[in-house]
Amino acid sequence: MLKEIKIAVAGTGYVGLSIATLLAQRHPVMAVDVIPEKVEMLNRKQSPIQDEYIEKYLAEKELNLTATLDGASAYRDADFIVIAAPTNYDPVRNYFDTHHIEDVIDLVLSVNPNAVMVIKSTIPVGYCRSLYLKYANRGVQRLNLLFSPEFLRESKALYDNLYPSRIIVGYPKLIADERFKEENEAICRIADISALEEAARTFAALLREGAIKQDIPTLFMGMKEAEAVKLFANTYLALRVSYFNELDTYAEVKGLDSQAIIQGVGLDPRIGTHYNNPSFGYGGYCLPKDTRQLLANYQDTPNDIIAAIVAANNTRKDFVTHQILTHNPRLVGVYRLTMKVGSDNFRQSAIQDVMHRLSIAGVKIVVYEPTLREDSFDGITVVHDLKTFKSMSDVIVANRMADELYDCIDKVYTRDLFGRD
């Protein structure tokens, strides 16, 4: 068992809150957020996000977890600071917005420069080494920065940390290539590589200690390689989603039984029956931005597949929109904005892009989304009564089917074949 380690976590989204909950089983954790309502809920042992295991652990477990708005106070005494601040990729400017991460780093350096910072946010390949160069040029004397990619699902974030597929921690390593000479020199000036390698092993031990699963595969590698693992892993998942969506498109166009084809394909053990349920496209926190960021990283590298994965998602949403329009609806009802079963998150959900396409086509839309209290969403009317919603809609569009729609199944357009994600 590790000695007591003081931990702060910057950000309480799926990544930050699941890590904070995991580590607070055995160590004191301060969770930092900028939204007062989220902080108040956490201090009442209530989860601000929908996640069965986070909700259960907050309510039932003895956790040493305190939430605060005061980042400086939380970081001042911490040994490890996990950075789970939001990032976003802007495809128009080909720019990955990481300023929230650097805001945290700047604050940590001002109050506790000896702390070890572990970035958990999604970032472009090469970002961490660029920070060593940036802060060395700024005159910083010491930077203790690691990167540990997160592999979790929305609404199952804590479960995926309790039973992780693997643990990966990247630390600064010198690269024997003249192209990285300036970065190497910066790392040598402001980083203690051997100490950070040891810190990487301690952080991995913290994650293993909090997990239920035993014998977790654990890898230590350079920071660039760790960053690449995250982007390539998520892009592969997007590839799999896109593959089965295009299979489903073919079946729908040709009048074939898509479910039968997918089942037959999946029984090959090299392919498997997982992650094969058609949808309106991949969405959520990571896959859309990670695929586009990886494609941006490929600017000077030959590729076909990576670009196709990004393009395929748009093609799928165009096709879904076309299929809905063939019904000549006067009013389309969108059932749930969320992307996954059991989730209350609809950030970058594919159905929103379908809605946008329908609006451009001049179709009137209403939304049923029980997590919304507002009467409108992005200028579209929100109907709070399900019975009214079903009655007024000519076509009901559902990325994922639900039992409460079976009484109006003749109105429903969905490509959910298996009733799961």
Write out the catalytic residue numbers: 286
70: its two tokens:
């005061």
Burial class (CB in 10 A: 0-12, 13-18, 19+), 104: buried
Instruction: Look up tokens 């939001």; give the residue.
Output: 86
Distance CA 40, CA 234 (A): 33
